[in-house]
Structure 1
Amino acid sequence: MSKRILIFDDDVDILSICTYILEEQGWEVFTSPHCNNIDATVRSIKPDIILMDNWIPDTGGIIATQTIKSQEDLKEIPVIYFSANNDIQSLAKQAGADTYLEKPFDLTELELVIEKMLRDKPPASA
């Protein structure tokens, strides 16, 4: 079974680059340029990891991440918060994200943070 990643970002260049790199590594990549109906989107895809942009339309990354983390069946999915904001660490904490990644990031950083989140992810409950 392939690993699934869901990327929320309204920057098509970031989506394209991340999709290309992650598909090369065997990920099944899903993207969304907005966070409308985010809980339904996440439930339909069932990702192993979520990348969440801070400036994602319409509610923004903080509320979108809080929405995911408030759902009993979704809260264990690791969320990597990513942004060019210089206060990314406190924004990620406020959102309830599992970790963060500063933009611009290099591809090695992206791979390392995803691998760490997969390693640290609790096993799915039966």
Structure 2
Amino acid sequence: MGIKFIKISVVYFVIGVLIGMYMSMTEKFDFTPVHVHINLLGWMSMALAGLIYVAFPAAAETTMAKVHFWLHNISLPIMMIGLAFLVSGTTAAAPAVATGGTLMVLGIILFAINILKNLRK
């Protein structure tokens, strides 16, 4: 599980950097919220979760870890695509941001419960 988190985090890192490069080249920074969220929730959070799961394999082997992985990777694209449309002026995208955000929070809560329950000295 830890390796899966680390590998997918690198994909999000590349996406976040490419969005940043696009904004720099065009000098249009409308997608800054998307860039920031992909880097923090995609790259940093998933890489750290992956490292934690590598260090504590008992937590990585749980169903909660698997559900966290899938909730995170389903919700983040939904939320970020919705946010990109929202900051571009499509107000109808707000439910996608809310849905993706809610699923993300649920995934993070599962991660927290998993860590608190399964990490041992």
TM-score by length of 2: 0.32
Q: Which has the higher helix share?
A: 2
Q: Which structure carries more relative contact order (alpha carbon 8 Å, separation 6+)?
A: 2
Q: Which has the higher strand share?
A: 1
Structure of higher CA gyration radius: 2
